[in-house]
Amino acid sequence: MTSAPMGSSPETDPVPAGVRRLGDGFAAAGWQVTGGDPGAPWAFVARTSLFRWRWMATRMHIFVFGVPIYDGVHPQWLDEQLAAAVQYSRVNKTGLPAGFQTGTATMLVGVGAGLNPGVQSWAAQVHGRKYAAITLPVLGDVATGRVTIPGRPVMGAIYHGYLKGVAEQFVGAAVRPQ
């Protein structure tokens, strides 16, 4: 489900190019960017850690997973990848235990071309309600330049504006038609 479609090559396929631009954008902004784990669908993980007084004096560990997606991807598969990304974030967070004025924000960014309405609907919905863990699914369509971000959640609402800004800035730049 995450390989290039038949008849396209990595050089001409805009999806991996969009994922690459996304990872490069985070790296240029000073985020720590590492390649995806073997067997994982994500091409990279970008991470940073921020403290904000306006976040009730919380340090948020933000993880962004760049995932190339193609036709045939279903919302259930995306749910599974989001759950795996949340688990990765929780395990790889440093510092105090989650909940002690610290937590994780996990953004699963799917980059595709001509994304189907079911996948777009999935990304437009608020996901996940776990203790000290926020999720934000995001889709970027390299064919249209459209970025889909869910609305403001009830749980973790104070972080939503920042995370939405990250998605708009980095995903928007990565999927903008070249």
CB of 77 closer than 8 Å to CB of 35 = no
C-alpha distance from residue 96 to each of 28, 47, 57, 69 (Å): 28, 17, 13, 34
pLDDT tens, position by position, for the chain (178 residues)?
Answer: 444 443 444 557 899 999 999 999 999 999 999 998 777 889 999 998 766 555 566 767 889 999 999 887 888 899 899 889 888 888 776 655 554 456 778 889 999 998 888 888 887 776 666 555 677 889 899 999 988 886 655 456 656 778 888 889 999 999 987 7
DSSP per-residue codes, 39-58: T-S-SEEEEEEEEEGGGTSE
pLDDT digits 0-9 by tens, 80-101: 998 898 888 887 766 555 544 5
DSSP H helical segments within 54-156, as ranges? 75-92, 117-124
- pTM summary value: 0.83
What is the C-alpha to C-alpha distance for residues 18 and 5, in angstroms, rounded to an integer?
Answer: 15
* Other beta carbons less than 10 A from residue 70's beta carbon: 18
Q: Which pair of structure tokens corresponds to residue 170?
A: 């980095």
DSSP category for residue 143: T
What region does 150 belong to: left with phi over 0, alpha with psi -120 to 50, or beta? beta
pLDDT digits 0-9 by tens, 119-131: 888 877 766 665 5
CB of 125 closer than 8 Å to CB of 136 = no
| Residue written as token pair 């976040």 | 55
* Other beta carbons less than 10 A from residue 113's beta carbon: 20
Which stretch of DSSP H or E encloses residue 35?
Answer: strand 32-35
Which pLDDT belongs to residue 1? 41
CB of 25 closer than 8 Å to CB of 170 = yes
